[in-house]
Amino acid sequence: MPANLTPEYLEAEAKFKQAKTIPDKIKALEVMLAVIPKHKGTEKMRAQLRSRMAKLKEELHRKPTISRAEQAFNIKKEGAGQVILLGLPNVGKSSLFSKVTNAASEIGDYPFTTQKPIPGMMRFENIQIQLVDTPPLQLDHIEPGFPNLIRNGDALLMVLDLGDDSLFQMEVLTEILKEMKIKIIGRDQISPPEGGWVCKKTLLLGNKCDLPGGMREYRKLEEQLNGILPLLPISTRGEMNLEEMKKEIYLLLDIIRVYTKAPGKEPDFTEPVILKKGSTVEDVALSIHKEFAQKLRYARIWGSGKFGGQMVKRDFPVQEGDVVELHI
C-alpha cells in the first residue's frame, strides 16, 4: 500500500535531515509524527519514527559522559583541606608526598614517573590535611581533568627543583596555569577573580636544597620574587624544613581550630572543630547540628573573649584556639 506522504510531511522530513542538534531533531520528528497520514500503509514508518524519537529523548537526558582519564583527576576531598602538589618533571613531588603523608607514590630518578593523581593524608598537629600528588605539568600537553583538579583544590604547593634553574621553572609553571586561567597568589593577597579566572593561594617550595649550590639557587629565587609569594627551602631527602612546611600549608588554608566543651567539663583538645577564618559562634553550633544552631541562646567563650567564660551572642567571631561552650 502506498504511503501517500503529504508535502507537509516531506518538508518536516527535510528539516529533520538538516537538524544539527538533538532538540531540533526531536522537534522535526514531532511534526513528522503529527502530519504523517495515519493508515495501514504508514504503520511501519510510524513505528520507526516513534522508536527514533525514543532514542533521541534518551540521548538528550543521558548525563554527559566523563572519560576515564578525566575521572582519575576527580579526587574526593577529605580532612581539613585539599592541597595540590604541582611541578615540572622530576622535581621531587612524589618523594615529598610519600614522606609526609600516609600514602605512597612511586619515585623515580627519571621524568614522568607519576601518571595519575594520588591522594594522601598529612597530619599536622591535631588535624589531617589532604595532599594530592600529580603527574608533572607540561607546556604542550594538559591532561583532561587536570585544570579542574587544580581549580577545585583549596591551595597549591608548587615544587621547584633547586638543582636546576628555579626561576625558569616558575615561569613555565605560571605559563601553564595561565592557559588554565589560574592565577597563583600569596597568603594574604585577595584579588577578585574576573572573567573565568580563579585565584589560588600557593606556597612555593624550593626542593633539594641539600644539593651543592641549592641554597645559592634559593637565594636567587627569593630575591627575584621579592615576597610576592610565600617561599620555603626544603630538602625531602635531608628532611629539612618539613615541619615548617606543614605549618605554612595550614596557614595557607585560611582555617581555624575551635574546641567545644560541655558545661562543667574540660574541652577535648584532640578533636577541633575546623572552620573558615571569620566564622562565628553560630558556625560552631552549625558544625554540630542545624537544629542546635537554631536553638542556640548564647555561648561562653575562653580565648578571644575579654575574660575567660565571657557570655557572647551567636554572631561573636571566633578565633584560632578558642574554647566554646554552647547553651541552648
Considering CB under 6 A, how many residues would be counted as binding ligand GTP? 23
Give me the half-sphere count of Cα atoms (radius 13 Å) on the Cβ side of residue 192: 2
87 touches ligand GTP by CB under 6 A: yes
Q: 216 burial class (0-12, 13-18, 19+ CB within 10 angstroms)?
A: exposed
241 touches ligand GTP by CB under 6 A: no
Least separation in angstroms between residue 133's CB and ligand GTP is 7
Cell numbers of 113, please?
A: 614517573
CA dihedral in degrees (164, 165, 169, 175; nearest 10)?
-160
208 touches ligand GTP by CB under 6 A: yes
Single residue of 119, 136, 147, 272 touching ligand GTP by CB under 6 A: 136
Least separation in angstroms between residue 130's CB and ligand GTP is 17
81 interacts with, out of ligand GTP, Mg ion, none, CB within 5 to 8 A per kind: none
89 interacts with, out of ligand GTP, Mg ion, none, CB within 5 to 8 A per kind: ligand GTP
Single residue of 82, 207, 241, 279 touching ligand GTP by CB under 6 A: 207
Nearer to Mg ion, 145 or 272 (CB): 145
Single residue of 16, 88, 91, 94 touching Mg ion by CB under 5 A: 94
Nearer to ligand GTP, 82 or 94 (CB): 94
168 touches ligand GTP by CB under 6 A: no
**Nearest in space to 129 (alpha carbons), one of 167, 80, 87, 174:** 80
Nearer to Mg ion, 98 or 279 (CB): 98
Identify the DSSP state of 40.
G
Cell numbers of 230, please?
A: 610565600
By CB under 6 A, the residues from 46 to 75 that bind ligand GTP are none
Cell numbers of 126, please?
A: 591535631
Q: Which residues contact 265 (CB under 8 A, 6 or more apart)?
A: none
By CB under 5 A, the residues from 106 to 125 that bind Mg ion are 113-114
211 interacts with, out of ligand GTP, Mg ion, none, CB within 5 to 8 A per kind: ligand GTP
The DSSP annotation for 102-170 comes to SS-----SSS----S-EEEEEEETTEEEEEEE-PPP-SS---TTHHHHHHHSSEEEEEEETTS-HHHHH
Q: How far apart are CA 129 and CA 237, in angstroms?
A: 22
Nearer to ligand GTP, 193 or 213 (CB): 213
Give the footprint of Mg ion on this chain (CB under 5 A).
93-94, 113-114
